[in-house]
Structure 1
Amino acid sequence: MKIGIEGQRLFRKKKHGMDMVALELIRNLQVIDTKNEYYIFVKPDEDNTVLKETSNFKIIELDGGPYPTWEQFALPKAAKKYGCDILHCTSNTAPISTNIPLITILHDIIYMESSYYKILTGSATPYQKFGNAYRKLIVPRVVKNSDKIVTVSHFEKNRIAEFFGMEGDEHLTAIYNGVSTHFKPITDNNELKRVKEKYHLPDNFFFFLGNTDPKKNTKGTLKAFSDFLKQSNSDYKLVMLDYDTNELEKLLDEIGDKQLINHIVLTGYVINTDLPAIYSLCAIFLYPSLRESFGIPMLEAMSCGVPVITSNTSSMPEVSGNAAHIIDPYKPEEITEGIIKILSEKDYAENLCEKSLERSKLFSWENMAKEYLKLYQLIHLEHSKK
């Protein structure tokens, strides 16, 4: 069996959640499947050593312009050229015209939902707006043409089924994401010191991965942190990743606390292997998103034994179970109250940490890869009978 996997953005330096899912899928398939032939289709970019070829895994770098033209023209042409029996598209969209059996991962359909779409298009960057508009146009046709639609949580499966009228449809299934094994509590003082100095981390801080995507609830998190400082008079900082300073200042102006910038540390881009130490150093990981289809960062933090504050919406309760402090993300005061509770109640915080470690063991990339391999075999068998 020849399997083509779309990994368009795998070689870009700053990878997003969908990119990491595709990367971990391929790496784990390389371990568990040495028989079938795989063709990994990627766009040329600077991080081209992140994935290695093996005897049955070939990396095909495809030029093809912007991602819509790459996806709609270069990708299906290459899949046909290499004789793929199955094409697996991993990033929410796929070619709308291909005669090859197609598996598409829909991580979420937030761009299809009118209420969230208004939020997304209202304050998103031009690139984000274009991407959302493209997906809104393409995805309905992709859903019809795919042999299998896979999503990453039962919450999202239900949303997709409801939106596209696929209740009870065997062409729709859910396969959980995993968490990498290097996400674990870091106790090596030398490693903690190295990472702390590298990113200029303070002694006491909360960690937040928010970005300019409105669903990440950066504004609400900043408001909650501002209120916490006013109530506690503490020296805690909020550590954030690679965030645009101008955009951050706009949000601080909107919440009426420009001075909060003095309590925020922007690390710049953090390589994946340094994240476990940052999780381990932080007092609380804040993940109060408005909407998530799964929530890999939350699971990473839980694997490091860190108290997590997350939302009562979408997939977050499903993934976190009873191992996180749950809040209403539309109420910043609940985030503030959660921070205070975790800091002031030692037994409660320790209980969250213990539950987090146990909960995270339920999710692995190896299990995910095994489920996809079963899917490839099933679809190939179905089409070989036709």
Structure 2
Amino acid sequence: MATPLPPPPADLAPAVPGQVAPTRRPLRIGIEAQRLFRPHKHGMDIVALELIRNLQQLDQHNEYFIFVKPDEDHAVLKATPNFHIVEVPGGPYPYWEQVLLPRAAREAGVHLLHCTSNTAPLRAGVPLVLTLHDIIYLEPLDLRRGSWYQRIGNLYRRWNVPRVMPLCERVLTVSAFEQARIVQRLPGPDGQVQVVYNSAGEQFRPITDQAALAAAKARYALPDRFIFFLANTDPKKNLRGVLQALALLKKQGQLSFQLVMLDYAETALAALLRELDAPELRAHIQLCGYVPNQELPLIYNLAEVFLYPSLRESFGIPILEAMACGTPVITSNTSSMPEVAGDAALLVDPFKPETIADAILRLQNDPTERAALVARGLQRVQHFSWRETARQVRRVYEEVVEASSVPKAR
């Protein structure tokens, strides 16, 4: 049940030059998190959830209005005295974002609106902050093999992002790599695009509870030895390259493990194996369905290696999740992944399956290198913090509202 909205106060009064400013009134901050209540959460949903939870812990002064679409998982976020959950029912996402969201923001009397998932309304009526996770959909990657849902979403982003960028007071992105791509492709005022890193949730850590690990292994029917790979139908995740690497290992007689994949359809896997003429690999792949985010640390802890050889990422939260769990990581030497992984992962060329296969063999055959990567990974993940993310984002809110309340020179 959404909490009743408190009435909006009068506009913020600009500070008078030369005078001591009075105690600042609380800001009224709107955050779009439309998919927060859906049962199966991924990427951008997790980022929005972690940001809001950490803002709740950090900020008891300002008022927040979290705009969501009604769905099943109400338990994921609870209202607090200064955090109001506003359920905005409606139709398809473009209509919800372009029509219903601005209306709800106006009714709440917010001083700014932060849209967290790459797109934003063209007529928000208040200063806009946009989290632009990536602009992959503007690049000439082969997106034709993605699902219809992904392709339609990319079409909307291709239409919206170039139009909404000039309307944003601040654009947040998640890596220096992505910042450079955005500035190159969509140039704007100096300082408009700011890097705010993601992190891994506190639940990702080494687990020593053998009973809990054994229960998870039984619950998901996990094999004794496996490599963990987070796949979906997006071509950038590089399942094709991973399967080609497995085929090389099988040909060499070195495929002594199972590949565990989550939330991937049997029909999609079968089609790709037919395309690669490699049906024999199916016996080496375990499909586990959807695993809730709170259960993922158990899977990471049970895995021998975490495999993340994407063709392109703007950040790569799973890299940090695996490191935080003490699992050695193989990831790509492209885009943002070296920026996130540092020296704490084996980096491979994702366009060359033989390099993926070689990295797997190295970690299987060299326990010293495995242990070194685990130690460096646990150290590396300490450089990232959702609390610091929330602190930086709150400062952006304050700067944007302050700038918008100062009279413009005529």
Correspondence for 1:350 among 371, 375, 381: 371
Tell me the equivalent position of 1:53: 79
Tell me the equivalent position of 1:225: 246
Report the alpha carbon displacement of residue 235 of structure 1 after superposing the two structures with TM.
Answer: 3.4
| Separation (CA, whole Å) in 2 of partners of 1:123 and 1:261 | 21
Matched, 1:239 2:260: yes
- Give the TM-score normalised by the residue count of structure 2: 0.92
CA deviation map 1:273-318 (0-9, x unaligned): 1111110111110000000000001110011111111001100000
Q: Which amino acid aligns with 2:150?
A: Q
Matched, 1:155 2:181: no
Report the alpha carbon displacement of residue 228 of structure 1 after superposing the two structures with TM.
Answer: 1.8
| Separation (CA, whole Å) in 1 of partners of 2:230 and 2:246 | 14
| Separation (CA, whole Å) in 1 of partners of 2:399 and 2:210 | 48
Matched, 1:192 2:213: yes
| Separation (CA, whole Å) in 1 of partners of 2:275 and 2:358 | 21
Query: Partner of 2:31: helix, strand, or coil?
Result: strand
CA deviation map 1:42-96 (0-9, x unaligned): 0001111110000000001101201100000000000000100010000000001
Matched, 1:319 2:340: yes
Tell me the equivalent position of 1:213: 234
Q: Which amino acid aligns with 1:156?
A: E
Tell me the equivalent position of 1:31: 57
CA deviation map 1:323-370 (0-9, x unaligned): 000000000000000000111111111111100000011111100000
Q: Which amino acid aligns with 1:15?
A: K
Correspondence for 1:40 among 66, 70, 95: 66
Total equivalences in the alignment: 381
Tell me the equivalent position of 1:301: 322
CA deviation map 1:120-162 (0-9, x unaligned): 1x10111111100000001011101000011000000000000
Tell me the equivalent position of 2:126: 100
Point out where structure 1 has 5 or more consecutive residues left out of the alignment.
none
CA deviation map 1:213-240 (0-9, x unaligned): 0000011111112222332444310000
CA deviation map 1:228-272 (0-9, x unaligned): 233244431000001111110111112221021111111111011
* 2:246–2:255 contact (8 Å) kept in structure 1: no
Matched, 1:362 2:383: yes
| Separation (CA, whole Å) in 1 of partners of 2:257 and 2:71 | 38
Q: Which amino acid aligns with 2:64?
A: Y
Tell me the equivalent position of 2:22: none
Q: Which aligned segments of 4 or more residues in structure 1 are displaced greater than 3 angstroms?
A: 232-235
Query: Partner of 2:74: helix, strand, or coil?
Result: coil
Equivalent residues in 2 for 1:16-27, closer than 5 Å = 16-27=42-53
Tell me the equivalent position of 1:164: 186
| Separation (CA, whole Å) in 2 of partners of 1:132 and 1:306 | 33
Matched, 1:338 2:338: no
Moved more, 195-204 or 225-234: 225-234
Q: Which amino acid aligns with 1:310?
A: T
Q: CA RMSD in A?
A: 1.0
Matched, 1:8 2:29: no
Correspondence for 1:178 among 196, 199, 204: 199
Q: Which amino acid aligns with 2:246?
A: F
Query: Partner of 1:29: helix, strand, or coil?
Result: helix
Q: Which amino acid aligns with 2:52?
A: I
| Separation (CA, whole Å) in 2 of partners of 1:98 and 1:240 | 40
Point out where structure 2 has 5 or more consecutive residues left out of the alignment.
1-26
| Separation (CA, whole Å) in 2 of partners of 1:233 and 1:364 | 38
Tell me the equivalent position of 1:71: 97
| Separation (CA, whole Å) in 1 of partners of 2:255 and 2:121 | 53
Higher CA-based Rg = 2
Correspondence for 1:253 among 271, 274, 283: 274
Q: Which amino acid aligns with 1:99?
A: G
